[in-house]
């Protein structure tokens, strides 16, 4: 298997950015295939911190980055992000970033609708990033999205805006939110066109050529399996499929091209936004994990909810996500805890489940079935080999492997790029 797909195995923020950046040294091309700038991927390289939302994490390594058709692109956000990383000394131009010409755009009206809907939901809100992700995917499926290629055809753009505004202004007015003006939107898009179009191309063709030339492709997932629109804790999910199968359709390659699927999981659990979280800790231990793990959203700045490692949930993600191996991150955050817990299944009423059922009522009622494992007193922080790990930390990792039914092929022991233990090179299959 020459290629690798990296996907989140929990509710996001597992450290995908760090792992993709580390693996990018072994790849030629890094491809984003779903999601949008709801993602926040943090890379720490020699003291410099890069926060990426749309740019594939490979750009920091100087690799070719591709934004696939499965991504929803906010053109302003993309250009702002390029300017921001250029301010940190990276060069991003059409020679190292290509964007699928058939990717749908996120417009300001999508973010407005996202926020207006969340307000209208009140107590039942999803806790979205407010960036218009859901409404943009809805427009794609409804066949009214404006796509990157439309920027080259002003007449197409104008006609599509009429259709889009008829739909959105009606909804926005109904929600009591300000409506959008066509002339202003058209002018803004036409002004963005010459800045965006130089990046646009049929990326599937480049990927096909790269594959035939034996180049290594790294597919970079955003969000995670439990936020997948089909397989996650619906409706508290994002609006795209986040499983590895999406890497194929979201980039324009066949399913056989996806290769080794590396699932990323934290050594504990976190979640931003609302929704079921069976192993959540609302006590001092949860607070401590959040403080030590610096669990604040990269995109939203919101404090992430924290809890024990949920092996039943990750096992489910391994199965539906097609995960071959796991990268376990943030083991260092557990250093010094006298006792750790791992969830092995759920109790709902008087029934026992080995998986999280789909119905929202059952998910909300699911009680974890914990097993307790002794902690370790030494440090794992910055460890770069198995030999540097306390024996009890190795035991914890081994127990996770058993319970999730997948091998741990990579371990991350700090935010820094090189504080990583490779067990098995995913590019070797």
C-alpha count within 13 angstroms, C-beta hemisphere, residue 121: 14
Q: How far apart are CA 286 and CA 21, in angstroms?
A: 29
What's the min distance (Å) between Cβ of 95 and ligand IMO? 26
Closer to Mg ion at the Cβ: 40 or 250?
A: 40
By CB under 6 A, is residue 127 in contact with ligand IMO?
yes
**Among the listed residues 413, 417, 426, 427, the single contact to ligand GDP using CB under 6 A:** 413
**Among the listed residues 38, 102, 269, 409, the single contact to ligand IMO using CB under 6 A:** 38
By CB under 6 A, is residue 129 in contact with ligand IMO?
yes
Find the part of the chain contacting ligand IMO (CB under 6 A) among 56-64, 128-136, 351-359, 363-371: 128-136
DSSP class of residue 331 equals G
Site string for ligand GDP, 282-321 (x = CB under 6 A): ------------x---x-----------------------
Closer to ligand GDP at the Cβ: 8 or 278?
A: 8
By CB under 6 A, is residue 307 in contact with ligand IMO?
no
What's the min distance (Å) between Cβ of 21 and ligand GDP? 9
**Is 13 part of the annotated catalytic residue set?**
yes
By CB under 6 A, is residue 112 in contact with ligand IMO?
no
* Long-range own/partner contacts, residues 347-350 (CB < 8 A, 24 or more apart): none
What's the min distance (Å) between Cβ of 203 and Mg ion? 24
By CB under 6 A, is residue 263 in contact with ligand IMO?
no
Q: How far apart are CA 346 and CA 372, in angstroms?
A: 15
Residue 422: how many other CB atoms lie within 10 Å: 15
Closer to Mg ion at the Cβ: 13 or 150?
A: 13
By CB under 6 A, is residue 113 in contact with ligand IMO?
no
**Among the listed residues 69, 102, 241, 329, the single contact to ligand GDP using CB under 6 A:** 329
Find the part of the chain contacting ligand IMO (CB under 6 A) among 7-15, 164-172, 311-319, 402-410: 7-15
Q: How far apart are CA 342 and CA 340, in angstroms?
A: 7
Among the listed residues 24, 28, 23, 33, the one whose alpha carbon sits nearest the alpha carbon of residue 64: 28
Among 37, 41, 168, 324, the active-site one is 41
Angle subtended by helix axes 391-404 and 311-321, to nearest 10:
50
Contact indicator for 56, 32 with CB cutoff of 8 Å = yes
**Among the listed residues 35, 36, 40, 70, the single contact to ligand GDP using CB under 6 A:** 40
Q: How far apart are CA 238 and CA 212, in angstroms?
A: 34
Q: How far apart are CA 117 and CA 245, in angstroms?
A: 30
DSSP assignment string, 221-272:
--S-GGG-TTTSSTTSS-SS--STTHHHHTTT--GGGS-EEEEEEESSEEE-
By CB under 6 A, is residue 332 in contact with ligand GDP?
yes
What's the min distance (Å) between Cβ of 6 and ligand IMO? 11
By CB under 6 A, is residue 133 in contact with ligand IMO?
yes
Among the listed residues 207, 259, 254, the one whose alpha carbon sits nearest the alpha carbon of residue 28: 207
By CB under 5 A, is residue 13 in contact with Mg ion?
yes
DSSP assignment string, 50-107:
EEESSS-GGGGGT-EEEE-TTB-B-HHHHHHHHHHHHHTT---STTTEEEETTPBBP-
Q: How far apart are CA 305 and CA 301, in angstroms?
A: 12
Q: How far apart are CA 394 and CA 229, in angstroms?
A: 34
Closer to ligand IMO at the Cβ: 6 or 161?
A: 6
What's the min distance (Å) between Cβ of 141 and ligand GDP? 25
Q: Return residues touching Mg ion (CB under 5 A).
A: 13, 40, 298
Q: Return residues touching ligand GDP (CB under 6 A).
A: 8, 12-18, 40-42, 44, 294, 298, 329-330, 332-333, 412-415
């Amino acid at each position: 298997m020459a290629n690798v797909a990296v996907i989140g195995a929990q509710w996001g923020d597992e450290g995908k950015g760090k792992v993709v950046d580390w693996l990018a040294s072994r790849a030629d091309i890094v491809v984003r295939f779903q999601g949008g700038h709801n993602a926040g991927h943090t890379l720490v390289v020699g003291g410099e911190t890069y926060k990426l939302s749309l740019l594939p994490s490979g750009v920091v390594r100087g690799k070719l980055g591709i934004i696939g058709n499965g991504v929803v692109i906010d053109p302003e956000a993309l250009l702002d992000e390029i300017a921001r990383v250029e301010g940190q000394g990276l060069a991003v131009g059409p020679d190292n970033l290509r964007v699928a010409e058939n990717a749908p755009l996120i417009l300001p009206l999508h973010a407005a609708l996202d926020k207006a809907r969340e307000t209208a939901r009140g107590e039942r809100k999803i806790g979205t990033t407010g960036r218009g992700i859901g409404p943009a995917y809805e427009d794609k499926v409804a066949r009214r999205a404006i796509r990157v290629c439309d920027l080259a055809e002003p007449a197409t753009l104008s006609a599509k805006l009429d259709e889009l505004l008829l739909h959105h202004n009606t909804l926005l007015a109904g929600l009591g939110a300000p409506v959008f003006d066509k002339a202003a939107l058209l002018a803004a898009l036409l002004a963005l066109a010459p800045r965006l179009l130089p990046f646009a191309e049929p990326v599937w063709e480049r990927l096909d050529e790269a594959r035939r030339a034996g180049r290594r492709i790294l597919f970079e997932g955003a969000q995670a399996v439990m936020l997948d629109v089909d397989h996650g804790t619906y409706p508290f999910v994002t609006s795209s499929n986040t499983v590895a199968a999406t890497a194929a359709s979201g980039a324009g390659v066949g399913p056989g091209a996806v290769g080794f699927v590396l699932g990323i999981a934290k050594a504990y659990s976190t979640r931003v936004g609302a929704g079921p979280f069976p192993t959540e800790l609302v006590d001092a231990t949860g607070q401590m994990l959040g403080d030590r793990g610096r669990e604040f959203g990269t995109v939203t700045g919101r404090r992430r909810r924290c809890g024990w490692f949920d092996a039943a949930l990750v096992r489910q993600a391994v199965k539906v996500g097609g995960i071959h191996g796991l990268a376990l991150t943030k083991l260092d955050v557990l250093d010094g805890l006298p006792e750790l817990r791992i969830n092995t299944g759920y109790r709902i009423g008087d029934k026992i489940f080995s998986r999280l059922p789909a119905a929202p009522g059952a998910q909300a009622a699911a009680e974890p079935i914990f097993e307790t494992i002794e902690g370790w007193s030494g440090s794992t922080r910055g460890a770069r080999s198995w030999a540097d790990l306390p024996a009890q930390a190795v035991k914890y990792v081994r127990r996770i492997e058993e319970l999730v039914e997948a091998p741990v092929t990579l371990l991350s022991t700090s935010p820094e790029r090189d504080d990583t233990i490779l067990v098995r090179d995913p590019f070797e299959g």
